[in-house]
Chain A
Amino acid sequence: MPRRRRWVAPAAALIVLTGALLAGCASAEDDSSPADPATSQESTPTDGGTGSPSAEPQGTVVDITFSGDSVTPNGERIDAEVGEPLTLDITADKPGELHVHSTPEQEVAYDAGTSTHQVTFDQPGIVDIESHHLDKVVVQVEVR
């Protein structure tokens, strides 16, 4: 039995410690929560995209540039909201198609030059927007 008692104390201490840690982590998370719907609506994506300068809320805008065998962005994440349009500003050197792996799937056909397209999402999830021609995922959209 002494062996057993020796282990109880550290274990109890550990439980208390993890509990405290947990509380600390959780509150730290609350302070810097990025998922505030009011701000993310007009937020600018960090990678590859630029925000719309207009004042009216119109969801996220992504700039996509095709050039030869490369495309930017290159698989980065952006945020969008269910029911809000996601605007794709596409600059391309030749026409092509983007596959939007939402449920249900969608397709965006674009011409050479610059063009603007909008897609909306019916339900939350991670949606890959993919160029099958280049065999690359252009952006992953976190739809909330």
Chain B
Amino acid sequence: MRLFAHGIGGAKDLPIPAEYAIAGACAALAVSFTVLALAWRTPRFNTGDRRPRPAPGWVADMVDGPWFAPLLRVLGFAFFLYVAAAAVFGKDLLINPFFGVFFVLLWVGIVPMSLFFGPFYKAISPVRTINLLLAKLSGSDPEVGLRDYPRWLGHWPAAVGLFAFVWFELVYPFSTELGPARLWCAAYVGVMLIGGAVFGNRFFENADPFEVYSTLVSRLSVWGRDGDGNLVVRSPLANLDLTPVRPGLLAVCSVLLGSTAFDSFKDSSTWLTTIQSTDIDTDWLNLAALLGFVLAVGILFGAATMMTGIHDDHHRLSLPGQFAHSLVPIIVGYVVAHYLSYLVEVGQQTVIYLSDPFSTGANLLGTGNRAVNYWLSNHPTFLALTKVGGVITGHVVAVIAAHDRAVKLLPKRHQLTGQLSLLVVMVGFTIGGLYLLFGA
């Protein structure tokens, strides 16, 4: 039996009221042009004239202490084994906590965890842990593999992996059946272990879809490292500015943003009545729409960044990658808007289910008797305000990040006009996102 409309979770959020969407759109427009008109004219972030502030001593001592990293790794791996046991030995029921962990705690939870605590998935990554154990056993160094990771490959494998995930979650009709979900995870672990063996840890940094997502979002946290590897505290904007530009970065961002928008779109009554009225296979239509959203984000953004005057020695084709980091705040804003209630409510449900991994009525963790708190769903006005606030905050941060990059890269006389096309596209994304929140 297939669950046509849903993965897991019951009711979905109400549309936001039209007034909120319009107010949000107007705010986005106003802020954008204010930034363009009034913001600084010389680059602000990481210009080298100010040293980043060291993290508080006790935090640095703890994080770089001898037990912190291993402890996180052990906890992460224990949790992985616990959930893997539920996936392998548990029943094919929606109360199997594996589904909630995979689709909610991991996929959505990765954003707040990375936003608050830095590169979270890297610290607990089970595939890094297995790679480390294998290296320990064979007496080799987990950092290096048989070959160097090719520079041109960059984040492209992560973009493909992320697309495979969103296809599985949003398009594939049997994603909430145990067999296919388990197979997806097994394929992920398999590919990651082979990649790790061949290219070393550099592979995870570039190609692990979850680690790339997490590390990208962690660029909006306050945590960073200085040139000597010391833990420092930076403004999220300065941190974001340090995002390494690798091939495929824009592809990763496009998949993340396009898929979130598609998730909203596919629940709209318009799309639903359309695909239910045609004879064309629904799954192919959904795949085409998902791909369309992703490509639209990438192409619009890429084209907009290139529509400017540049220095003679500057490659125009390098511009999309050099601006791609400014999509990250927009992604985070959308994730807040689309998945906040899902994370809070289905997340609680998952923690409850985690007590009973094999659906035997057990209460292993003592959470089995808890009830989900539906405060968020019962306060739709607060929820709608939070959503609009998330989208607008993301937009503002994105516009500022792009502005600073523009004054860093573009010739003086093109700095204002060169930003216009990108600004228009960003406003378009934000208004489009608000429209989806209102209409879907």
Contact = CB atoms under 8 A, between A and B. Distances in A.
Nearest to A127: B11
A4 B10 contact: no
Interface in A83-114: 101-105
Contacts of A10: 33, 37
B346 to A, nearest CB: 9
A105 B10 contact: yes
Contact of A15 (B33, B273, B276, B380): B33
Interface string A99-143: 001111100000000000000010111111010100111001011
Contacts of B15: 126, 142
A101 B273 contact: no
Contacts of A76: 269, 273
Nearest to A20: B26
Given A14-B29, A103-B374, A126-B12, A29 B18 contact: yes
Nearest to B372: A103
A8 B17 CA distance: 32
B29 A124 contact: no
B47 interface: no
A19 B37 contact: no
A26 interface: yes
Contacts of A18: 26-27, 29-30
B14 A126 contact: yes
Interface in B35-69: 36-38, 41
A19 B272 CA distance: 35
A128 B17 CA distance: 20
B264 to A, nearest CB: 11
A4 B41 contact: yes
B284 to A, nearest CB: 15
B30 A19 contact: yes
Contacts of B33: 10-11, 14-15
B277 interface: yes
A87 B416 CA distance: 59
A124 B345 CA distance: 13
Contacts of B277: 74
B10 A101 contact: yes
Interface in B256-313: 267, 269, 272-273, 276-277, 282
Contacts of B11: 101-103, 121, 123-127, 143
Nearest to B37: A11
B14 A142 contact: yes
B341 to A, nearest CB: 8
A55 interface: no
B4 interface: yes
B273 A130 contact: no
A123 B11 CA distance: 9
B34 interface: yes
A144 B22 contact: no
B273 A74 contact: yes
Contacts of B38: 8, 11
Contacts of A26: 19, 22-23
B6 interface: yes
Residue from the set A18, A74, A136 with the largest chain B CB neighbour count within 10 Å? A18
13 contacts: A4-B37, A7-B36, A11-B33, A11-B37, A18-B26, A21-B26, A25-B26, A29-B22, A123-B374, A123-B377, A124-B11, A126-B14, A137-B272
Interface of B: 1-6, 9-15, 17-19, 22-23, 26-27, 29-30, 33-34, 36-38, 41, 267, 269, 272-273, 276-277, 282, 345, 374, 377-378, 380, 416
Given A76-B269, A103-B345, A140-B272, 5 more contacts: A4-B41, A75-B276, A101-B5, A132-B4, A140-B269
